[in-house]
Amino acid sequence: MKMFIWNILLALVWAMLTGSFTAGSLVAGFIFGYLVLAFVARLSDQTTSYSRKIPEVIGFTFFYIWELIQSNLRVAYEVLTPSHHMKPGVIGLPLDATTDAQITMLANLITMTPGTLSLDVSNDRRMLFIHAMYIEDENALHAELKELERRVISLLS
Amino acid sequence: MNESIAAVILLIGGAFVVIGALGAVRMPDLMLRMHATTKAGILGGGLVAIAGGVFFNESEVMVRALAILAFVVLTGPVAAHMIARAGYFTGAPFWERTLKDDLRSNLDKAGGYLYSAQEQREGKGRPQQQAPRDDGE
């Protein structure tokens, strides 16, 4: 997080030095700042996790958009066809995520992914309760949600 | 060129919003309605904002469209979660074909406490099944 703020500051410095505050120059400044930080990180060996994180964020964004499109097509199919094929139910997902930020992010993402809606977290924060549209194959759903959780944890740790 | 791309994006976004609205009418219970409206609303609204950015073809407008998209994506699921949660705890009825409800057995309604299955297993939660007592003997 600290490195991200440094990166933004470098982008602002770049925009100031080039004298143009447009979106393009800020993006260029961000990229140059990122390269500088990645280079410095390789020398100091202290902040390497940040340089690995940006590709992870980009990959995650595409993954998320893909999930969003999939979930929409599935819901659209369910709405537009005359009969309901849903097998809804509420399931509990044991959590490996520990911090508030991770659980919040995970709950948000679960609401976006195909046919799942997060309902509540147990008071001891070890289980997330989810309403799912299709629970005929609970193990597959479980594996899918665990994969999402793994990505969130590696992103926010 | 920009105009036709923007038109296509706008149409797709509009179609998703319509589907979301239809879903709110057609789905059998509150939870399933929330499924339909949030996902379609977020994608549809985001696409409409992006179509605006593409149509004007200025970085200023595009950045604003992306900011709208980011905030919709951030706040949409939270709103859906709060509505669904409020609905659940005030006892909105479930569709009769709902298969299971893991939450109900973990909820201590009087104490307002929600146990996790791990806690239940460790014996900290309330007993899953109250054994019938016979005081006659």
Q: What is the pLDDT of residue A46?
A: 58
Q: Are residues B63 and B25 in the same domain?
A: yes
Q: Are residues B62 and B106 in the same domain?
A: no
Q: Are residues B108 and B73 in the same domain?
A: no
Using a CB–CB cutoff of 8 Å, tell me whether A80 touches chain B.
yes
CB contact under 8 A, B81 and A119: yes
How many CB contacts within 8 angstroms connect chain A with chain B?
Answer: 140
Is B25 domain-assigned? yes
How many domains does one find in chain B?
Answer: 2
Name the residue with higher pLDDT: A131 or B115: A131
Using a CB–CB cutoff of 8 Å, tell me whether B12 touches chain A.
no
Residues 68-97 of B with CB under 8 A from A: 73-74, 76-78, 80-81, 84-85, 88, 94-95, 97
Q: Nearest CA to CA, how far is B59 from chain A (Å)? A: 6
Q: Are residues B57 and B118 in the same domain?
A: no
Q: Are residues B57 and B105 in the same domain?
A: no
CB contact under 8 A, B114 and A129: yes
Q: Which residues of A fall within a CB distance of 8 Å from B77?
A: 107-109, 111-112, 118
Is B134 domain-assigned? no
- Which residue, B114, B89, B87, is CA-closest to B31? B87
Is B21 domain-assigned? yes
Is B41 domain-assigned? yes
Q: What is the pLDDT of residue A156?
A: 73
Q: What is the pLDDT of residue B117?
A: 67
Q: Nearest CA to CA, how far is A28 from chain B (Å)? A: 14
Contacts of B50 (CB under 8 A, 6+ apart): B9, B13, B65, B66, B69
Q: What is the pLDDT of residue B9?
A: 92
Q: Which residues of A fall within a CB distance of 8 Å from B118?
A: 94, 124, 126-127
CA–CA gap between residue B23 and residue B11 (Å, rounded): 18
Q: Are residues B63 and B121 in the same domain?
A: no
Q: What is the pLDDT of residue B130?
A: 43
When pLDDT is cut at 50, 70 and 90, the band that residue A88 belongs to is confident
- For β-strands A127-132 and A116-121, DSSP reports them as antiparallel
Q: What is the pLDDT of residue A79?
A: 81
Using a CB–CB cutoff of 8 Å, tell me whether B113 touches chain A.
yes
Using a CB–CB cutoff of 8 Å, tell me whether B32 touches chain A.
yes
Name the residue with higher pLDDT: A90 or B96: A90
Q: Are residues B59 and B113 in the same domain?
A: no
Contacts of A68 (CB under 8 A, 6+ apart): A112, A113, B39, B42, B43
CB contact under 8 A, B31 and A131: yes
Is B96 domain-assigned? no
Q: What is the pLDDT of residue B12?
A: 92
Name the residue with higher pLDDT: A108 or A123: A108
Name the residue with higher pLDDT: A20 or B51: B51
Q: Of the candidates A86, A108, A123, which has its C-beta nearest B114's C-beta?
A: A123
Is B116 domain-assigned? yes
Query: How many CA within 13 A on the CB side of residue A123?
Result: 13
CB contact under 8 A, A90 and B100: yes
Q: What is the pLDDT of residue A21?
A: 72
Query: How many CA within 13 A on the CB side of residue A96?
Result: 13
Q: Are residues B51 and B74 in the same domain?
A: yes
Residue B119 belongs to domain spanning:
101-128
For residue B113, give the chain A residue with the closest CA: A123
Is B28 domain-assigned? yes
Q: What is the pLDDT of residue B125?
A: 53
Looking at the DSSP assignment, which residues form a beta bridge with residue A94?
A127
Query: Which whole number is the average pLDDT over A81-85?
Result: 79
Name the residue with higher pLDDT: B108 or A128: A128
Judge if ipTM > 0.90. Answer: no
Q: Structure tokens of A16?
A: 């100031």
Q: Are residues B42 and B81 in the same domain?
A: yes
Q: What is the pLDDT of residue B7?
A: 93
Q: What is the pLDDT of residue B137?
A: 37
Task: Divide the 137 residues of chain B into consecutive groups of 10 and give the mean pLDDT of each group.
Answer: 90 91 85 84 89 85 85 86 85 76 69 66 55 42
Q: What is the pLDDT of residue A78?
A: 80
Q: Are residues B120 and B85 in the same domain?
A: no
Contacts of B17 (CB under 8 A, 6+ apart): B40, B41, B44, B45, B48
Q: How many CB atoms lie within 10 A of CB A85?
A: 10
